[in-house]
Structure 1
Amino acid sequence: MTRFLLVPGRGVPFPNHWSRQWARAHRDHTWAPEPPGPPYVAGDRVAALNAAIAADTAAAVLIAHSAGCLTVALWAARHSGPVVGALLVTPPERDDMPRERLPFPSIAVLSRNDPHASFAYGEQLARQWGAEIHDAGPVGHLDSRSGFGPWPEGEKLVARLAAP
């Protein structure tokens, strides 16, 4: 059975955020870590993600939003485990973002008008990671403030990563 680990960004997602809705709607979607509040401490987040991945031998799909993409990239550079794919949603522009090829299939969801990263930056990062690029259009940071709530298109992307 595949498990789905939600990797939050630097803050706590609002209750209507798509990731919160997915966690409520799907028992196999769990937080890694539970959504903490600021500040974002990369080492703590990577350790929590590693603990969540190592807690079970079942295949895992990582679902990361914003700074959660940094957590996933840092984890992949330092650790290994039964990860079969990652959905990397609106990675922010950061100088400390690892750029090594990820050791599992991934899809980078990019926005044409993300206030935290240009589309060109996201494209370059996705290519370095070896990720498929999904152009979500002008969706802001793909969060509650930009109208996401429900995000059925994202659920379809996750299903593709989980397929054998």
Structure 2
Amino acid sequence: MPSARQHTYETEVVWTGNLGTGTDSYRSYRRTHEVGADGPAPIAGSSDPHFRGDADRWNPEQLLLAALSQCHMLSYLHACAVNGVVVTAYTDRAAGTMTETGDGGGRFTGVVLRPRVEVAEPSMAEKAVALHEDAHRLCFIASSVNFPVGHEPEVTVRPGGPVRPAEG
């Protein structure tokens, strides 16, 4: 069996919400921040509006949900490509539930991914649904969280005729 490969990721989070008096009270600062990494453009972040955050910025809960959705999609597209299923469109409207605890903390209790997949031919539809199980198993992020991640896929067939898989 080949040895496990390790990958290291680095990000930087910089708080931008000091209004001049720092955190001298719960209401005296903004929750705004920038999430960055070498390469991509920064992400404007804040807390959820329920926690005095800005609705026009990404919050950590949304980013976790997006990471699960992205990872599933990328794992799924790979599984389809190596199994002869031609995906022509993919959209996911994921939903997650976070429950607050009495001590001010909280945790996610579950996420449901709802991928809407379009495939090239009717003969691919059944396999396209089944490959979501493989994608779930392969997803690095879903394998790393301690709450259930379900999926409710819907597969349709591309109108207008078949598209053949590319060679190689």
TM (norm. structure 2) is 0.24
* Structure in which a larger fraction of residues adopt helix: 1
The one of the two structures with greater contact order (alpha-carbon pairs below 8 A, sep at least 6) is 1
